[in-house]
């Protein structure tokens, strides 16, 4: 067992090469997202709640996009291990068709009916009106995000992790700078408030999609497919892709719907509660940067091993990665639990919001390692091994059978403080930990998908 845990130089070189660019990308994104939240927070609690709720609609789309791109990544990692470039291009083409179609539908809905969407989450008229201003503009970048999602995911699965990182860093930096200029009216620009934040987002995402597609084709990466190669898709290929990707898409979408119901419950507990949970989730994303990066690298490494036919090596790498990442989660959680006062000093919020957010952050830190274990297990290991259906059962069972009932019962019926509601909702993570550990030990999650797709 000691040999498995220590691994070898190649293991850690590969992990470092894959995870470092993802880590930097996620760190930049999470940090600047927190800066954006602070900027909007300077406008007031209504504005921070409005933008937070408007982004819940994009969050639902992003889960679908993440599901499609994750499904594509599972196949891409295994095809890359098997040296099958033709099928990587076909996977990219099918993923783009699904992602762009759904993003177009979300864009149309957000542009035409923003008030109706926001009324689902809040009854506060001011929050709905401000949020609608933001959503109607920000939705114009949804299709661009769909294209970026797919190219970034496939590039990472082929080991080209530096390109998405660099381009994302550029786009997010542009977004942050433009936010400062347009929200507050700097350098001769008018102060546009939340509208300025939305315009900045659209400009940044347009830059991002142009840069990533141009880079792929100018540098002639393996995913630089011609239109005919992207659309070279047989019925059998589509069927096999969907059979694996659909559980991931359903997982992300149904999990997202469940978490959106948390937002509905929180909104009915008050605008201050919405502000507190939005701030806490933004801070959590920064705390999870390293762990989520290792989890994503795990998916690539394990998928490559399985595609190359090395099932023993795939299992040994998984053991190392899950122990390493859970340990990192413990360290990050401890830092988070000890830092609420330092973190919250950057936000201009009421005393009640300050106190509620601080208590949530402490609980969040204490449970962070459990969430990291589950993320690594479901996204990094089960999916890369072609066992997405079991991951679906774990996630959906936890959210819909435990968290959703508890958030409404504890928040709206028992009227508990929001930090206790958060603690009860988090019990689904404990449930998933025990179920996932049993599945991992069984090794039933190891499936070579590339072998079955090459003849399609």
pLDDT in tens, 246-295: 888 888 888 878 887 888 899 889 888 988 998 898 889 888 888 888 98
Per residue in 373-411, pLDDT tens? Answer: 999 999 889 988 889 899 999 999 999 999 999 999 999
Under the banding of pLDDT at 50, 70 and 90, the label for residue 361 is: very high
* Placement of tokens 């759904």 in the chain: 102
CA-to-CA distance for 60 and 62, rounded, in angstroms? Answer: 5
Considering 123-137, 164-178, 317-331, the range whose residues carry the highest mean pLDDT is: 317-331
Please list the alpha-helical segments (H only) found in 162-270.
162-184, 194-218, 227-230, 235-269
Q: pLDDT digit string (tens) for 54-111?
A: 888 887 888 888 888 888 888 888 888 888 888 889 999 999 999 999 999 999 999 9
The most confident of the ranges 194-198, 257-261, 264-268, 431-435 is: 431-435
pLDDT tens digits along 13-23:
888 887 887 77
Question: pTM of the entire structure?
Answer: 0.75
Q: What range defines the domain where residue 385 resides? A: 2-453
C-alpha dihedral sign at 123, 127, 132, 138: negative
Q: Output the average pLDDT for the chain.
A: 86
Whole-number pLDDT of residue 197: 86
CA 406 to CA 423: how far, in whole Å?
A: 10
CB atoms within 10 A of CB 22: 25
Residue 243: both structure tokens together: 């059979």
pLDDT for 101: 95
Q: What is the mean pLDDT of residues 17-45?
A: 70
Number of domains in the chain: 1
How much is the pLDDT for 99? 93
């Amino acid at each position: 067992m000691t040999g498995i845990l220590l691994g070898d130089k190649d293991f850690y070189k590969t992990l470092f090469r894959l995870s470092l660019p993802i880590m930097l990308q996620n760190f930049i994104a999470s940090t600047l997202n927190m800066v954006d939240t602070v900027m909007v927070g300077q406008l007031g609690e209504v504005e921070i709640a409005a933008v937070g709720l408007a982004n819940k609609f994009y969050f639902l789309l992003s889960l679908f996009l993440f599901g499609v791109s994750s499904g594509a990544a599972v196949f891409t990692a295994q095809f890359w291990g098997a040296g099958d470039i033709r099928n990587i291009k076909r996977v990219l083409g099918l993923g783009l068709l699904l992602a762009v179609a759904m993003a177009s539908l979300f864009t149309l809905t957000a542009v035409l009916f923003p008030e109706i969407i926001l009324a689902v989450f809040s009854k506060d008229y001011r929050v709905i009106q401000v949020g609608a201003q933001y959503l109607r503009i920000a939705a114009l970048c949804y299709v661009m995000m769909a294209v970026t999602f797919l190219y970034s995911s496939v590039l990472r699965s082929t080991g080209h992790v530096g390109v998405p990182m660099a381009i994302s860093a550029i786009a997010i930096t542009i977004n942050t700078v433009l936010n400062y200029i347009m929200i507050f009216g700097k350098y001769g620009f008018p102060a546009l408030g939340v509208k300025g934040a939305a315009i900045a987002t659209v400009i940044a995402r347009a830059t991002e999609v142009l840069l990533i597609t141009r880079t792929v084709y100018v540098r002639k990466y393996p995913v630089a497919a011609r239109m005919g190669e992207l659309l070279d898709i047989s019925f059998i290929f589509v069927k096999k892709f969907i059979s694996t990707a659909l559980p991931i898409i359903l997982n992300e979408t149904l999990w997202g719907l469940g978490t959106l119901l948390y937002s509905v419950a929180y909104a009915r507990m008050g605008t201050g509660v919405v502000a507190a949970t939005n701030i806490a989730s933004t801070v959590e994303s920064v705390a999870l940067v390293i762990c989520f990066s290792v989890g994503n690298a795990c998916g690539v490494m394990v998928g490559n091993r399985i595609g190359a036919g090395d099932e023993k090596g795939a299992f040994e790498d998984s053991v190392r990665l899950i122990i390493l990442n859970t340990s990192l989660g413990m360290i990050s959680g401890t830092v988070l639990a000890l830092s609420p006062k330092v973190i919250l000093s950057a936000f201009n919020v009421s005393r009640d919001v300050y106190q509620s957010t601080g208590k949530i952050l402490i609980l969040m830190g204490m449970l962070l390692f459990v969430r990291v274990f589950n993320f690594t297990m479901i996204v990094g290991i089960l999916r890369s091994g072609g066992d997405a259906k079991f991951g679906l059962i774990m996630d959906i069972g936890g959210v819909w059978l435990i968290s959703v009932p508890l958030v409404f019962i504890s928040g709206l019926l028992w009227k508990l403080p929001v930090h206790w509601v958060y603690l009860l909702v988090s019990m689904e993570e404990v449930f998933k930990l025990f179920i996932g550990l049993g599945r991992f030990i069984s090794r039933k999650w190891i499936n070579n998908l590339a072998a079955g797709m090459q003849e399609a």
